[in-house]
Copies of this chain bind each other. A is one copy, B any other.
Amino acid sequence: MDHLIDFEPVGRRGRCPRGETLMDCARQLGVGLAGLCGGIGGCGQCVVQIVDGDVSRPTSEDAERLSADALAQGYRLACRTIPLADCKVRVPLESLTSSQRTQVEGEETAAAPDPLAQVYIVTLQPPSLDDLRADAGRLADALREQHGVSATHVDLQVMRKISPSLRACVDPDSGEWRVRAAIREGEVIGLLSPDASPLGLAVDLGTTKIAAYLVDLTHGRTLASSGLMNPQIAYGEDVVARISLAEQQEAKRTLLQQLAVEALNQLASELCARVEASVSQIVDAVVVGNTAMHHLLLGLPVKQLALAPYVPAVASAVNVKARDLGVRLAPGAYVHLLPNVAGYVGGDHVAMLLATQIEEKRGVVLAIDIGTNTEICLSSDGVLTSASCASGPAFEGAHIRHGMRAASGAIERLRLLEDRTEYQTIGGGPPAGLCGSGIVDTMAQLFLAGVLDQHGRMRDHPRVREADGVREFVLVDEPTLGGRPVETRRSAIVFTQQDVRQVQLAKGAMRAGIELLLATGGRKIEEIDSVIIAGAFGSYIDIANAITIGLLPRLPLERFRQVGNAAGMGAKLALISRTQRETARALASRIGYLELAAHPLFSTTFAQSMLLG
């Protein structure tokens, strides 16, 4: 009897033989768990959190390394813990030997900096018997006189600091007060010391990954960027799972909200630390995400998102005080969320379209952001129609036997040479599984070699074998020494008939979206002038292989452009420029939405789109 262990957010799953520790299991599955002491509970580095399932009781080593509180929350030393049932295990970032690849780079689009939150240096005369103006009024007068800026109100948290803050900024020579005031639409949202430059935070809050950019608002320059796995993953891989969890209990909705907020705070702190700034210098933030992530971040109810006809609680752009969400920025700073288009087409899609400047392009343009949910926009001479396809998490490695996320050890490139495979792993170490781009390569290579037919049936091949009645293609053999299997825990890495079906479902959904958008717009594939591919997965896939399996339409390669994290770039544009923020709003209201599931041709198109080639 063994147990199925699911390591998150790495996304690696596998069976752990009875009596073995979580550390053994992690090693066997290629999850890079930290550990210095050789698994004797001595170093305390292999801390994991048991999210679901029974494990052995805490040992004395656990009790020594972890607080009672931590133990109660399910934290354990992996090397001291034996699963007693199937388990879901969260591996905190600090327990991983190498971080996951989280795409943050994207093609930058230029925009003149004109941020909504502006910062002004003002000089004030301290009060005297002849000048008894209140501190806030004195500041407002100085802003008007010295900058022509009208500051009609002061955020409560700033108000609570204004008197000591002004008195702490005395110019030693003149005795005057000098301070930087951050103003947003007539509201004083922060007071900075005269030498602190104003910063902004742009965030692409993905279902799987979160990318954040710290931006110098004066020059519109990105100072630092960083990615993080969305910690909500431990509570559901896709939006549907998280929506269903959030609707079970108010407390779960709050938990998911807090996890997202903590991730934002962690990213903001980390980025600020990197450039030796303080989070209180961040005077504005823009977050983009799909509608579910948007709702979960705001703590909005999501029940109506999961029930037909799937309407959002809020679609228009939202401005909320960062503190109302629990996000720590300048005391009165806001978080701006770009508008959603529909229940499954969110602000991240709008941001992607903004960054790719799709509305300025002539002809027929297809913009695709491939993910657990894939959003596609067809621009037909400037008429925009978007659709959402439930492509599922197969390209994130989920529901694939040896699938995993793009972490160290993931096979990201693969070629089949006769009966031999060649591959490349992230980090270059021994292979642990397949990530999205590796999955596309595998599918394409198997199809080209005739191992898979058009319907995805796996045919005979020297590397094809059967296990438990299911055919599988051996990508990586069990390690051998002189031809004999060696005593090792690592198993072969295979791609099964079931894996093929999962990929077919994912690519079928996506391709059906493309077909139906084209049909609705009265366009044919060959009319497409360019295809913009955004998102992490889309950046790493081999376009030719994606065309081979029919994931992407058969067009000359030069018509494709892989733009990286365009949603993040769009968030940055809306952060640094009022005009861009307004363009995003206008874009969102111009986008027509095509509900694929309601389309009369959906099922036939979907079935057709599952074919390979």
Contact = CB atoms under 8 A, between A and B. Distances in A.
Interface of A: 127-129, 132-137, 140, 153-154, 156, 159-164, 167, 298-301, 303-304, 308-316, 318-321, 324-325, 340, 342-343, 593, 595, 598
A312 B312 CA distance: 45
A252 to B, nearest CB: 15
B309 A129 contact: yes
A298 B159 contact: yes
Contacts of A301: 160-161, 163-164
Interface on chain A toward B: helix, strand, loop, or mixed SS?
A: mixed
A311 B154 contact: no
A179 to B, nearest CB: 14
A575 B319 CA distance: 27
B160 A309 contact: no
A127 B309 contact: yes
A141 to B, nearest CB: 11
Contacts of A128: 309
A312 B135 CA distance: 7
Contact of A164 (B136, B298, B303): B303
22 contacts: A127-B311, A128-B309, A129-B595, A132-B311, A132-B343, A132-B595, A135-B311, A135-B312, A135-B313, A136-B313, A136-B315, A136-B316, A137-B316, A156-B320, A156-B324, A156-B325, A159-B318, A160-B298, A162-B314, A163-B303, A163-B304, A164-B303
B162 A313 contact: yes
Given A160-B299, A163-B303, A304-B163, A311 B593 contact: no
A304 B177 CA distance: 15
Given A153-B319, A167-B304, A301-B163, A309 B598 contact: no
Given A156-B298, A164-B301, A300-B160, A132 B320 contact: no
Nearest to A310: B132
B342 A135 contact: no
A375 to B, nearest CB: 15
A313 B156 contact: no
A324 B159 CA distance: 12
A591 B161 CA distance: 27
Contacts of A129: 308-309, 595, 598
Interface core residue of A132, A134, A324, A598 (most chain B CB under 10 Å): A134
A316 B134 contact: yes
Given A299-B160, A311-B127, A313-B159, A304 B132 contact: no
Contact of A314 (B132, B135, B316): B135
Contacts of A161: 301
A304 B595 contact: no
A428 to B, nearest CB: 47
A253 B502 CA distance: 61
Contacts of A127: 309, 311
A144 to B, nearest CB: 13
B311 A159 contact: no
Contacts of A134: 311-316, 340
A315 B137 contact: yes
A313 B156 CA distance: 11
A4 to B, nearest CB: 36
A167 to B, nearest CB: 7
Given A159-B300, A300-B160, A593 B316 contact: no
Nearest to A301: B163
A389 B156 CA distance: 29
Nearest to A304: B163
Nearest to A137: B315
A303 B168 CA distance: 13
Contact of A593 (B132, B162, B298, B315): B132
Nearest to A157: B324
Contacts of A300: 159-160, 162-163
Nearest to A340: B134
A598 B313 CA distance: 59
Contacts of A304: 135, 163, 167
A331 to B, nearest CB: 12
Given A134-B313, A160-B298, A163-B301, 7 more contacts: A127-B311, A132-B593, A133-B315, A134-B315, A134-B316, A154-B318, A156-B299
A142 to B, nearest CB: 14
Interface core residue of A159, A303, A308 (most chain B CB under 10 Å): A159
A311 B162 contact: no
Contacts of A598: 129
Contacts of A167: 304
B154 A314 contact: yes
Contacts of A135: 304, 311-314
A318 B156 CA distance: 9
Nearest to A299: B160
Interface core residue of A129, A319, A593 (most chain B CB under 10 Å): A129
A159 B159 CA distance: 26
Contacts of A311: 127, 132-135
A554 to B, nearest CB: 33
Contacts of A340: 134
A333 to B, nearest CB: 14
A578 to B, nearest CB: 16
Nearest to A138: B311
Contacts of A159: 298, 300, 313-314, 318
